[in-house]
């Protein structure tokens, strides 16, 4: 018997892909994050949930868990030592804000917060430094990931972005 896993949010992705199928994509100038910032698309369309003066937070398009955020500088740099003092201060303050807003939004039991620096570190976009902020719960990595190589997510990116933006606006700013 064939098992079905409902992922209704994928319909928008599939529809968008089929509308552009057969066309040649233009090469990216810079990282995907730089392309998103330069796209002219709204924050709602790109899942940017917070903007500061030097850094921003965006939902991970391929999340490990609902609310998985990426915090990164606007300027495309690969290494921590390439950040200015102001960029570094804002980056880490925004990471702290991100954990606070995710606590309010999702009530996680824990967090994974980290970076993959360099092409062989396991990160897929090494040219644009970004900090992962991932809410975690007991049992959130279960047999589906281990046996079926599949993640199940109970919330769409649109719903996650709306929730995170609303709660972030209500938190006192650290910056």
Q: Which two tokens stand for residue 26?
A: 């233009």
**Pairing mode, if any, of strands 69-73 and 110-114?**
unpaired
131 contacts 71 by C-beta, under 8 angstroms: yes
**Pick from 58, 44, 51, 63: which is nearest to 158 by CA?**
44
* Residue 11, SS3 per DSSP: helix
Determine whether 4 is an active site residue.
Answer: no
Q: Which of 68, 128, 130, 132 is catalytic?
A: 130
Give the full edge-to-edge strand order of the sheet including 55-59: 48-51, 55-59, 69-73, 131-136, 110-114
Name beta bridge partners: 70: 58, 132
DSSP string across 143-175: HHHHHH-----SS-HHHHHHHHHHHHHHSPP--
Kindly list the catalytic residues: 130
């Amino acid at each position: 018997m064939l098992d079905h896993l409902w992922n209704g949010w994928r319909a928008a992705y599939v529809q968008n892909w089929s509308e552009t199928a057969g066309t040649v994509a233009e090469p990216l100038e810079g990282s995907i994050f730089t392309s998103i910032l330069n796209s002219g698309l709204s924050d709602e369309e790109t899942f940017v949930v917070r903007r500061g003066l030097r850094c921003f937070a965006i939902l991970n398009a391929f999340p490990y868990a609902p609310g998985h955020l990426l915090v990164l500088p606007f300027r495309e740099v690969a290494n921590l030592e390439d950040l200015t003092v102001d960029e570094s201060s804002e980056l880490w303050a925004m990471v702290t804000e991100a954990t606070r807003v995710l606590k309010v939004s999702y009530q996680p039991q824990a967090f994974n917060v980290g970076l993959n620096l360099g092409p062989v570190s396991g990160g897929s976009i090494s040219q644009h430094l970004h900090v992962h902020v991932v809410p975690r719960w007991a049992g959130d990595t279960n047999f589906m990931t281990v046996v079926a190589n599949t993640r199940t997510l109970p919330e769409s990116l649109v719903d996650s972005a709306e929730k995170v933006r609303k709660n972030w606006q209500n938190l006192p700013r650290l910056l």
